[in-house]
Structure 1
Amino acid sequence: MLAACASVPTAPPVPQRPPNIVLFVVDDLGWQDISVPLWSERTAFNDRYRTPNLERLAREGMSFTQAYASAPVCTPTRTAILTGQAPARSHITYWTLRKDDDTSAKFPGLLPPKWDVNGLQPEDATLPELLQEAGYRTVHVGKAHFGAVGTPGADPRNLGFDVNVAGHGAGGPGSFLGLENFSAAARKGDRVWDVPGLERWHGKDVFLEEALAAEAVEQLDAAVAAGTPFFLHFAPYSVHAPITANPRYAANYAHLDPREAAYATMIETCDAALGTLLARLDSHGIADETLVIFTSDNGGLSAHGRGGEAHTHNAPLRSGKGSCYEGGIRVPLVVRGPGVVRGTRNDWQVISADLFPTLLAAAGVGLPRDGIERDGLDLTGLLRGGWLEAERILVWHQPHFWGVNGPGIWPFSALRVRDWKLIYRHADREFEFYSLAEDPGESFDLAATATPIVLELAKVLGERLRAMGAQMSIDATTGLPVPWPDKVERPTSFGFYQF
């Protein structure tokens, strides 16, 4: 399968020394929450949101139309980026908060497995650690949410970052407003959400991402002055709840529902932060020496906290954050930098864990020889206008309930190969099967009429999960794991399809 690229195969030359890397990971940003169209046609959402700096990045780089988060919630995806491991393999299959605390919501008839509730820890080999060892200055700014509060992994400096600004173990901010000290105190919330390390911005009329961008360019300046390559992991807390309007952009969305208008201002604030970073790269004359990656940790919020009809905010995709459907896992991905073909769109299926080997390869750093299996693929060939030689099989595994009712928000395992997608529901041991080429909105479940394909895909999914050492949901009645997808009692496979 060839990468679908435009007809202008130009790219900045690969520099002599390792490139700088800026990894920009937005929180809860949906596939349609940008003005860059990633579908076959431009949508109303693309026209609603204003992301001119991302448009620039897309013109100067490569946009992926079928990029996926490794999970439909934050921590598993963020740790997959840092380790290259799928959540099914790392056992970090859900979002973390406090030490030894299972955040899984209760689901009728099921219990979560004994997953890694504390998240990423210093003994894990991470992307920043490996880059640090290779001479990079490694900087984290913004949301971390790699490890639980009260554990070493809550502090990014214990995971390979030289500098940590505002990152800790919580996955959302107490407040987005400097006038509220970025604290939950103003809404009488749990202070675990208070954003640390930004005291100099307290009491000021500044939005959180504006403060983070200012902090980031200071760190960027310091790295340039030091003359070393740098890795900047910039992670806005937006557009996570509490959805909060940035008054500087409110006039652009006065025609929208107030909650949706507030959401749109948060997106534009993130884009402005991207613009701040791009401008500083330009001013230092290092734009062509810097690899910039823009993405999100999961699909857009749609189940609650938004205006309008729930579960529709990622259309044409179905559902949103927390869901096994495309709205919960498909995300924007735009890459610009040395060797990346400019102004192109790529239709290959890629996933968050791919960033680990890809960025290491860009830096000239080999994969760790620690005997640990990793799931990401190096995308260098795609970025340079080529293709992947192997057929891609993507796997998702979330043996947890997000706690919000909605389509696809239940414990599940899923697989995509070619344009086929299989979903295995842990609760009732049933399958759903979709052909995404014809049905990206997953409106027509073909499982009942495509038994041979379903059986073969279930076999592949079961084999993949076992190879990863995945933990299945627990049947609350028997205390045993639910059956693997290919061990559920079904008619014998016809064997028509092999993968």
Structure 2
Amino acid sequence: MRKKFTLGNALLSACCLSSLSLHAQTADRPNIILFLVDDMGWQDTSVPFYNDSVMPLNRRYHTPNMERLAEAGVRFTRAYACPISTPTRCSLMSGMNAARHRVTNWTLDYDKRTDAERGDIVPPEWNYNGIQPDTVTSTHDRKNTTLITGLPEILRRNGYYTIHCGKAHFGAISTTGADPSAFGFEVNIGGGANGAPGSYLGTRNFGQGKWAVKGLEKYHGQDIFLSEVLTREALSALEKPIAEKKPFYLYMSHYAVHAPYDEDKRFSGKYRNRYDEQLKDTLNEMEIHYAALVEGMDKSLGDILDFLQKRPEVASNTILLFMSDNGGQALNNVRQGKANRDQNYPARAGKGSAFMGGVREPMMVCWPGVTEKNTTNDNPVMIEDFFPTILEMAGISGYTTSQTVDGKSFVHLLKNPDEKRERPILWHFPNLWGETQNKEEGYGAFSAYLKGNYHLIYHWENRKLRLYNIKEDISEQNDLSAQYPDIVKALAKEMTDELKRCKAQRPSLKTTGKRIAYPDGSL
């Protein structure tokens, strides 16, 4: 659905990407940039993603380059990802729903689960070694993993120059899949098994041990921030395909805004001593650092836009997609305010939760000659949809994969913005996240299903079903399950059918060792 909007403090037409409004040469395959942010909540930006309403959180943050992109393209107001990082990234690389690829929690050490041990259930034997390229043959690489034909590999085979920059988090330490180049990236800048940086600071060499960001040694000891380093290296890497007139795919995958919240002194000063209307207090140091991380990420986006704008012939044929990998942190041990209420307001909860705060994302697309400027689209999009979409954008068809692709391309929604599609969405997290098991706030082992405006949540531990209407109740405060039992029953059956179709794993009860019943009660 096309809907014009005006940001109260937007940079107007002078700052829009005028070069990106040029029509792409249809004979040329487009360049594609996917700009993925880590742990960014849907409201951690001055661009509104809720009913065009500028909310208090939008006024807290300063993201002028996201505003530029929003003015130049289309915002998707119902974009979703998994509640945890690695499952999202594995879905993006494979086109598979997390229920199918079974990398349902975050990964790090080889052959080690990351589930919390407390609770009344035992998580299933999920793929805690991550995804691996389908070419691996060793027992080491094929244990507790899913083999895939990676998105960049398909692009590479079809003539694209493929660049990975930043966080990977695909495979566990010592596996082939820990290295992004194994999946078809010709250039890997800073990507490994680690899901966060040991430090964002060059003065601390970007961390040590398993959390170190590797390959950036020339910046060690310098007073420079990781987001800036990655951007410089990414833009440098783009010079080669541009010079060779070769189409490129840049996966700009920032570690920001994931913890640790190291101070980015370029931006932190403007947030210090600032009164926040939502918190009704001045921002504490953690929130100051967080806001600066967000703005540093936004500067990276601006540097990329500026790079393109200086090269109109490249800009006119470059698609840019913006997305986050899960909801923002919502726990008050790392964030200010009331846990699960303030951090992703008006959505409830955050990263790791089944509620909208854990899975709803800021998403934008600018496709020269295709997307209409300054519009919104309310159709639902799930993270695995990016796989077939990017390949269709690249004009690649007839490709084969070793995995079943669950994603649904949204190219037709970009080309026909008035079109409406029904896109039910399945989430599956049969795990125990280490930070909290607060079932009331949507954490712990769950599966969830979104169809239309109805969001059904199933808690595996107590077999409880909860139903919310996210159009009328975005904060998910009113459980409608008792009021609409027929809707609960119908959606529970659909969710169960989808879980079975994906051959999803189920947790078991500690007391009996038996697998817990599906949402519809079947065994």
TM-score bracket for this pair, using the shorter chain length: over 0.9
**Further displaced range: 475-484 or 318-327:** 475-484
Which position in structure 1 is the counterpart of 2:434? 403
Aligned to 1:415: 449
Q: Residue 270 of structure 1 corresponds to which residue in structure 2?
A: 297
CA contact (8 A) 2:379 2:421 kept: no
Structure 2 residue 172 is the aligned partner of structure 1 residue 141 = no
| CA–CA distance in structure 2, aligned partners of residues 252 and 367 of structure 1 | 51
1:130–1:160 CA contact under 8 A, matched in 2:
yes
Q: Which moved more, 1:378-387 or 1:455-464?
A: 378-387
1:214 corresponds to: 232
Aligned to 2:487: 453
Q: Distance in 2 between matches of 1:45 and 1:19?
A: 35
Aligned AA (1:331):
E
Are 1:250 and 2:260 matched, yes or no? no
Q: TM-score when scaled to structure 1?
A: 0.93
2:326 — aligned with what? Answer: 298
1:385 offset after TM fit, Å? 3.2
Q: Distance in 2 between matches of 1:263 and 1:14?
A: 37
- The one of 343, 355, 377 equivalent to 2:408 is 377
Check conservation: 2:379, 2:420, Cα contact below 8 A: no
Q: Is the 8 A contact 1:5 1:385 kept in 2?
A: no
What amino acid is aligned across from residue 400 of structure 2 in structure 1?
R
Aligned equivalent of 2:131: 120
Q: Which amino acid aligns with 1:59?
A: E
Q: Does 1:477 align with 2:511?
A: yes
Structure 1 counterpart of 2:143: none
Matched AA of 1:289? N
Task: Within 5 Å, give how 1:436-451 maps onto structure 2.
Answer: 436-451=470-485
- Matched with 2:142 is none
Asked if the contact 1:429–1:488 (Cα under 8 Å) also holds between the matched residues in 2, the reply is no
Farther off after superposition, 13-22 or 191-200:
13-22
- Residue type of the partner of 2:264? N
Distance 2:24 2:92 in 1: 23
Structure 1 residue 21, shift from structure 2 partner: 0.7
From 80, 88, 97, give the equivalent of 1:77. Answer: 88
State the Cα distance separating 1:33 from its structure 2 match: 0.3
Instruction: Report the Cα offset of residue 308 of structure 1.
Output: 2.6
Deviation, structure 1 residue 387: 5.3
Structure 1 pair 113–367 and aligned structure 2 pair: CA distance change class (3 A): farther
> Displacement, 1:6?
3.6
Tell me if 1:90 matches 2:101.
yes
1:100 corresponding residue in structure 2: 111
**Greater shift in the superposed pair: 108-117 or 163-172:** 108-117
Amino acid at match of 2:343: H
1:52 to 60, 64, 67: 64
The aligned counterpart of 1:309 is 338
> Structure 1 CA distance, aligned partners of 2:178 and 2:419?
35
SS at match of 1:248: coil
> How far, CA to CA, are the matches of 1:480 and 1:220 in structure 2?
53
CA distance in structure 1 between the partners assigned to 2:323 and 2:470 by the alignment: 22
Counterpart secondary structure, 1:315 = coil
**Structure 1 contact 64–332 (Cα < 8 Å) conserved:** yes
**Matched residue, 1:493:** none
Partner of 1:353: 384
Note if contact 1:360-1:367 (Cα within 8 Å) is conserved in structure 2: no
Structure 1: how far apart are the matches of 2:430 and 2:168? 23
The residue number in structure 2 matching 1:13 is 23
Task: Provide the secondary structure at the position in 1 that maps to 2:206.
Answer: coil
CA distance in 1, matches of 2:317, 2:42: 28
Q: Give yes or no for the alignment of 1:200 onto 2:210.
A: no
Distance (whole Å) between structure 2 residues aligned to residue 371 and residue 117 of structure 1: 20
* 8 Å CA contact retained: 2:2, 2:418: no
Q: Distance in 1 between matches of 2:223 and 2:237?
A: 22
Contact 1:258 / 1:307 at 8 angstroms: preserved in 2?
Answer: no
1:431 aligns with 2:462: no
Report the Cα distance in structure 1 between the residues aligned to 2:335 and 2:396, rounded to whole angstroms: 42
Task: Work out the number of aligned pairs and report it.
Answer: 479
Which letter does structure 1 place at the counterpart of 2:72?
E
Deviation at 1:209, TM superposition (A): 0.4
> How far did 1:337 drift?
1.7
Q: In structure 2, give the amino acid aligned to 1:261.
A: I
Q: How far off is 1:107 after superposition?
A: 3.8
CA contact (8 A) 2:5 2:374 kept: no
1:373, distance to aligned residue in structure 2 (A): 2.4
SS at match of 2:133: coil
Residue segments in structure 1 that go unaligned for 5+ positions in a row: 185-190, 490-499
Instruction: For 1:111 and 1:23, locate their aligned partners in 2 and report how far apart those are by CA, in whole Å.
Output: 36
SS of 1:422's equivalent in the other structure is strand
The separation in 2 between residues aligned to 1:387 and 1:361, in whole angstroms, is 20
Residues 387 and 94 of structure 1: is their aligned pair in 2 closer, same or farther, counting only changes over 3 Å?
farther
Residue type at the aligned position of 2:161: R
| Distance (Å, rounded) in 2 between the aligned partners of 1:460 and 1:336 | 34
Residue in structure 2 matching 1:26, options 11, 34, 37: 37
1:234 to 213, 228, 252: 252
- C-alpha displacement of 1:388: 5.5
Q: Are 2:314 and 1:283 equivalent residues in the alignment?
A: no
Deviation at 1:144, TM superposition (A): 0.5
CA contact (8 A) 2:114 2:434 kept: no
Counterparts of 2:121 and 2:236, CA distance in 1: 48
CA distance in 1 between counterparts of 2:207 and 2:402 reads 42
Q: Does the aligned pair in 2 maintain the 1:36–1:54 contact within 8 Å? A: yes
- 1:301, 1:320 within 8 Å by CA — same for their partners in 2? yes
Contact residue 433 and residue 454 of structure 1 kept, 8 A: yes
Secondary structure in structure 2 of the residue aligned to 1:481: coil
Tell me if structure 2 keeps the 8 A contact 1:381–1:387: no
- Displacement of 1:383: 1.1
Could you tell me which amino acid in structure 2 is paired with residue 32 of structure 1? Q
Superposed CA offset, 1:101-124 (max 9, x none): 111112411111111111111111
Q: Deviations over 1:146-197 (max 9, x none)?
A: 111110000000011001010000100010000100014xxxxxx2101100
What is the distance in 2 between the residues matched to 1:46 and 1:475?
43
Q: Is the 8 A contact 1:395 1:415 kept in 2?
A: yes
Alignment TM-score, normalising by the size of structure 2: 0.89
Q: 1:475: how far off?
A: 1.5
d(CA) in 2 for partners of 1:13, 1:473: 51
Identity of counterpart residues, as a percentage? 41
| In structure 1, C-alpha distance between the alignment counterparts of 2:467 and 2:398, rounded to whole Å | 35
Note if contact 2:2-2:417 (Cα within 8 Å) is conserved in structure 1.
no
Question: Within 2, Cα distance between the matches of 1:20 and 1:480?
Answer: 50
Q: Distance in 1 between matches of 2:117 and 2:349?
A: 20
Indicate conservation of the 8 Å contact 1:94/1:400, yes or no.
yes
